[in-house]
């Protein structure tokens, strides 16, 4: 797989672009995730023409449509930022991005819970950074996160799963445009989708079954929307356990009674929160190889992202 292209707030890469001339280097993003991705840095405040250092800014007014103003001299930067952001987002749409990582708490780059100061000067954490809002409204299916939320193991896993899946989807379509490509992609991703949403799994199954009734472009578009919506929903230990039980059904005839017992125990320990998901998954992978389960071998769920990222390792 080629490197995944991700947009990122420039200061997270260690560049000195913040209002105080500093940065917010995030080592996980640069050193670990950075091995698999190619970052497209975006600093809204510098790229819209403001200097480094500069006066700090914040959001104020109505939290649904706040103004971006400098904190002391009260200069209103909103129109300047909006004009620049619309142009930049149109460029980013052509960058083949599979996701965007925002800097948290920023009035320009923050994706959620940004302080908006009311008339009394009190902050209400209900705002969205001006650039982040325009990007998310323009590309609603693009996986997005901020570096603060990515410290949460479940959110990190979910985001990484989404960017890797979107990359695989784009690569599949780049090779060949046909209904068969989508059917093949769906077969490989069925279990992964089911681990997020049984409703989407069913809807996508029906969509694939009636693929011939739809124009090709419409089919791709509907499938991609459902795919990204599904993966955004959180997996749970119950959903993952169901998927693993379902997988076990494919080789229960081949497993010895000891192996069956060991796997059932592993899934049960995971469901109860005693061991991380990676343990029963490793066991299933072992049996898939041992019994040469060709159908399950192609299931991305068993290997959705590089082991080096150490995901699925939390309880």
Contacting positions for ligand SF4 (CB under 6 A): 9-11, 17-18, 43-46, 103, 106, 108-109
Q: SS3 string of 156-219?
A: HHHHHHHHHHHHHHHHHHHHCCCHHHHHHHHHHHHHHHHCCCHHHHHHHHHHHHCHHHCCHHHH
- 145: β partners: 101
In the complex, the smallest distance separating the C-beta of residue 162 from ligand SF4, rounded to whole angstroms, is 22
In the complex, the smallest distance separating the C-beta of residue 71 from ligand SF4, rounded to whole angstroms, is 14
In the complex, the smallest distance separating the C-beta of residue 138 from ligand SF4, rounded to whole angstroms, is 17
Residues 111 and 202: their CA atoms lie apart, in Å, by 31
- Tokens 């998927």 map to which residue? 243
Residues 302 and 283: their CA atoms lie apart, in Å, by 10
CB-wise, 14 or 153, nearer to ligand SF4?
Answer: 14
In the complex, the smallest distance separating the C-beta of residue 133 from ligand SF4, rounded to whole angstroms, is 13
CB-wise, 103 or 299, nearer to ligand SF4?
Answer: 103
> In Å, what is the CA distance from 278 to each residue of 284, 303, 307, 312?
10, 10, 10, 5
CB-wise, 135 or 283, nearer to ligand SF4?
Answer: 135
CB-wise, 97 or 230, nearer to ligand SF4?
Answer: 97
In the complex, the smallest distance separating the C-beta of residue 50 from ligand SF4, rounded to whole angstroms, is 9
CB-wise, 104 or 165, nearer to ligand SF4?
Answer: 104
CB-wise, 150 or 192, nearer to ligand SF4?
Answer: 150
Residues 265 and 248: their CA atoms lie apart, in Å, by 12
**Exposed/middle/buried for 119, CB within 10 Å: 0-12, 13-18, 19+?**
exposed
In the complex, the smallest distance separating the C-beta of residue 51 from ligand SF4, rounded to whole angstroms, is 12
78, 60 in Cβ contact below 8 A?
A: no
């Amino acid at each position: 797989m080629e490197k995944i292209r991700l947009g990122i707030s420039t200061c997270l890469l260690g560049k000195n672009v913040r209002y105080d001339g500093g940065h917010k280097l995030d080592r996980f993003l640069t050193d670990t995730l950075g091995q698999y991705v190619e970052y497209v840095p975006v600093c809204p405040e510098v790229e819209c023409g403001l200097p480094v250092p500069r006066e700090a800014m914040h959001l104020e007014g109505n939290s649904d449509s706040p103004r971006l103003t400098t904190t002391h001299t009260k200069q209103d930067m909103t129109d300047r930022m909006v004009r620049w952001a619309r142009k930049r987002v149109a460029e980013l749409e052509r960058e083949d991005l599979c996701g965007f990582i925002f800097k948290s708490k920023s009035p320009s780059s923050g994706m959620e819970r940004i302080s908006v100061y009311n008339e009394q000067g009190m902050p209400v954490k209900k705002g969205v950074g001006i650039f982040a809002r325009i990007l998310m409204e323009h590309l609603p299916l693009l996986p997005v996160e901020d570096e603060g939320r990515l410290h949460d193991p479940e959110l990190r896993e979910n985001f990484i799963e989404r960017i890797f899946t979107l990359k695989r989807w784009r690569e599949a379509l780049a090779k060949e445009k046909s209904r068969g490509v989508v059917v093949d992609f769906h077969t490989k991703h069925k279990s992964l989708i089911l681990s997020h949403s049984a409703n989407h799994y069913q809807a996508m199954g029906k969509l694939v079954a009636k693929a011939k009734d739809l124009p090709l472009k419409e089919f791709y578009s509907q499938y991609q929307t459902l795919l990204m919506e599904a993966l955004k929903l959180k997996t749970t230990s119950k959903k993952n356990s169901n998927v693993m039980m379902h997988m076990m059904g494919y080789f229960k005839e081949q497993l010895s009674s000891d192996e069956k017992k060991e796997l059932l125990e592993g899934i049960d320990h995971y469901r109860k929160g005693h061991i991380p998901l990676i343990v029963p998954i490793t066991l299933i992978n072992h049996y898939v190889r041992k019994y040469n389960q060709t159908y399950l071998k192609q299931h991305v769920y068993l290997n959705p992202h590089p082991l080096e990222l150490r995901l699925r390792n939390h309880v």
